[in-house]
Structure 1
Amino acid sequence: MALVKRGSRLITVDGTTYRWRLRGRPTYDQGLVQSPLTYAVEHADSPGTTLVITTNQPHPSNWLGAHGSPVLPAEVADSIRSALTNGWAPQAPGSPFHLG
């Protein structure tokens, strides 16, 4: 399943371009700070398996005012490298690959 292009950002890691997206509004559980912030990454040109990254921080737009820091491109790049090392094949079809 491909990511929605609107609101997504491109990032190049080791010569390969990926698209990543953070959900703008928190899910119900994220809003109540019961589940952490997640974001998704896919290969920009030929998306296959989506990478879902779970962080250890709350969504920045949570409803309880818990402090959540922004996701920086350097963190996204590090997560992509880690997922590739752990077997994520971004151009192959399949179920989402979870990294957390």
Structure 2
Amino acid sequence: MSLQSRGSRKFRVGDEVYAWTIRPRPTDAQAAGLTRMTLAIQRIEPLSPAVLVVDLRVTRCDNDVRPHSTGVHPAMVREMLARALAEGWRPESGRGHRLEFGLIRDRP
């Protein structure tokens, strides 16, 4: 699996470059507030097929049931990656990894 380069944001950690993205539109379940928002991170230099999927523990801010504001900042994404690496995820292994990282809603 590979992230689309369109709409993704890049960041560097040492000699490696990663990209992260959040789906541009919610799935039906996310729009109904039934599932939580996720974020995907992948190492793109050197390229690795492994994708880190982060459960943000909040509904999408654009859900139809209870819209809210929630911000994801580059520093948070770096922390997510650091936690996954500390848990033992290795992008070069080619295996994906799931991580829970709780965001706080900015406003109800």
| TM-score of the aligned structures, taking structure 1 as reference length | 0.89
* Residue 60 (structure 1) aligns with: 61
Unaligned runs of 5+ in 1: none
* Residue 79 (structure 1) aligns with: 80
* Residue 28 (structure 2) aligns with: 28
Unaligned runs of 5+ in 2: 101-108
Q: CA RMSD in A?
A: 1.4
- Aligned positions, number: 99
What is the one-letter code of the residue matched to 1:9? R
Larger C-alpha radius of gyration, 1 or 2?
A: 2
Higher-strand-fraction structure: 2
* 3-state DSSP of counterpart to 2:77: helix
The 4+ residue runs of structure 1 with deviation greater than 3 A are none
% identity of equivalent residues: 30
8 A contact 1:52–1:98 mirrored in 2: yes
| TM-score of the aligned structures, taking structure 2 as reference length | 0.83
8 A contact 2:38–2:53 mirrored in 1: yes
